Structure 1
Amino acid sequence: MTKELYVRFKLCDGSVQTILGDMLKPYSDTYLTKLVFNHDFKSTKDGQGLFWIDEEPQIFAAILTFYRHGQLLLPDIFVGIRDSIIDKYLLPIEKSSRVLDPPESTITMNIRRVRLRGATRAFSFPPSMETNRYLCTIVDPMWTDLPESDINDFFVVTSSANGIQYVRKSYLTVMNFLIEQGYEIERWDEKKQEVDLKKVYM
């Protein structure tokens, strides 16, 4: 598996969630890392290279957030089963020492997190097939997996060599577009050209 290759998971509702494989590797004893990288571990990978997971999308998004940021941020409605989720995915998190009371609030917040990384990539396009270098953005999860990708005309190229999608816009352009769609900046490393954003859904 190449360094920045995405791993894609298909959930019980048919949706697909993605993460860079390198983000799984630090947690070698967890369920998802074993599923993806341990060839002796029973895998449910299909012919398209997607790993099938029987899980609620909101829970699985929180699981991937743990791999990206080291925190398990479950929506309120799933807090009562937090310990069973930790056990199921073999997460290195301390379990509750007491039974949690059901949340008082009936409002559930869902959070989508996106990481942008600036890149420069050489592409050639017909008819001339002349190779030029362009400013691009690598998006985690994949750009085409974000609902916001349906409301813009950004040109996206998927590398056949490593499976990475490149949005042929600078990371600042992509960042500003997502901010217009309701995302907030959590972290911005201008030197590395990396931005972490989040969007909260009620």
Structure 2
Amino acid sequence: MTEELYIRFKLCDGSVQTILGTMLKPYPDSYLTKLVFNNDFKSTKDDQGFFCVDEEPQIFAAILTFYRHGQLLLPNIFVSIRDSIIDKYLLPFEKLPSTINSPESTITMNITRVRLRGAARTFVYAPSMEPMSYLCTIVDPMWTDLPESQISDFVVVTSHSNGIEYVRKSYLTVMNFLVSKGYEIERWDEHKEEVDLKKMNT
């Protein structure tokens, strides 16, 4: 059986959050990695293949940010339960020193992080069935899971061979669109055509 590229989690409010499976594997002892990859670990999937998790969406977004970037950036209202969240998800964190737990330094924000990767793909469309090459972008998390996808006119194509979702625009076009919607560029590798962006959600 081919391993799924993207892992999708359905939360208690019905929302879905997505991450690349490879992002989970560096932390084999953590809860989500065991949930997804350990056959001996009891997991719950719905009829669409989503893993069901009873969690607040803002907390879960912070958990996925940890897997992507190694930082646990909790919204301010959840900072007081940071240690219980670490215990619940078996994250490799120690308690913060008391100087870091000062009121001035525990103020965090809900941050959305997005990674873009440039790609070139050939698609065949009816009725001509002529193969056409396009500059595309791979988005993590998936483009259709981002709120900004609802206000864009970007065409999205999912490959039947590998399950990857491609936005049929260059990564620069997608980057500029997200920047216009409040994202900031954290890292930009022009050679690899990769961009990491973040957005502070108030």
Q: Contact 1:58–1:110 (CA<8 Å) still a contact in 2?
A: yes
How far the C-alpha of 1:134 sits from its partner, in A, is 1.1
Q: Determine whether 1:19 maps to 2:19.
A: yes
Superposed CA offset, 1:107-142 (max 9, x none)? 873211111000111100111111122110000111
Superposed CA offset, 1:40-66 (max 9, x none)? 110111111100000011110110000
In structure 2, relative to structure 1, the CA distance for the partners of 1:118 and 1:3 (3 Å cut) is farther
What TM-score do the two structures reach when normalised by structure 1? 0.93
How far the C-alpha of 1:97 sits from its partner, in A, is 5.5
In structure 2, relative to structure 1, the CA distance for the partners of 1:2 and 1:189 (3 Å cut) is farther
Q: Contact 1:4–1:22 (CA<8 Å) still a contact in 2?
A: no
Q: Contact 1:137–1:170 (CA<8 Å) still a contact in 2?
A: yes
How far the C-alpha of 1:160 sits from its partner, in A, is 2.0
How far the C-alpha of 1:102 sits from its partner, in A, is 8.3
The alignment partner of 1:129 has SS state of coil
What residue is the counterpart of 2:7 in the other structure? Answer: 7
Q: Contact 1:77–1:103 (CA<8 Å) still a contact in 2?
A: no
What residue is the counterpart of 2:157 in the other structure? Answer: 157
Which consecutive residues of structure 2, in runs of 5 or more, have no partner in the other structure? none
How far the C-alpha of 1:6 sits from its partner, in A, is 0.6
Q: Contact 1:83–1:96 (CA<8 Å) still a contact in 2?
A: no
What TM-score do the two structures reach when normalised by structure 2? 0.93
Q: Contact 1:20–1:140 (CA<8 Å) still a contact in 2?
A: yes
What residue is the counterpart of 1:79 in the other structure? Answer: 79
Output the amino acid matched with 1:67. Y
What residue is the counterpart of 1:170 in the other structure? Answer: 170
- Distance in 1 (CA, whole Å) between partners of 2:110 and 2:73 is 9
What residue is the counterpart of 2:110 in the other structure? Answer: 110
Q: Matches of residues 91-106 of structure 1 in structure 2 within 5 Å? A: 91-96=91-96, 103=103
What residue is the counterpart of 1:44 in the other structure? Answer: 44
What residue is the counterpart of 2:179 in the other structure? Answer: 179
Q: Determine whether 1:126 maps to 2:116.
A: no
- Distance in 1 (CA, whole Å) between partners of 2:82 and 2:163 is 34
Aligned identity (percent) is: 79
- Distance in 1 (CA, whole Å) between partners of 2:195 and 2:71 is 18
Which consecutive residues of structure 1, in runs of 5 or more, have no partner in the other structure? none
Q: Contact 1:117–1:139 (CA<8 Å) still a contact in 2?
A: yes
Residue range with higher mean Cα deviation, 155-164 or 67-76:
155-164
**Superposed structure 1 runs of 4+ greater than 3 Å apart:** 1-4, 100-105
- Distance in 1 (CA, whole Å) between partners of 2:4 and 2:181 is 27
Superposed CA offset, 1:91-118 (max 9, x none)? 11112466x968479x873211111000
- Distance in 1 (CA, whole Å) between partners of 2:4 and 2:169 is 19
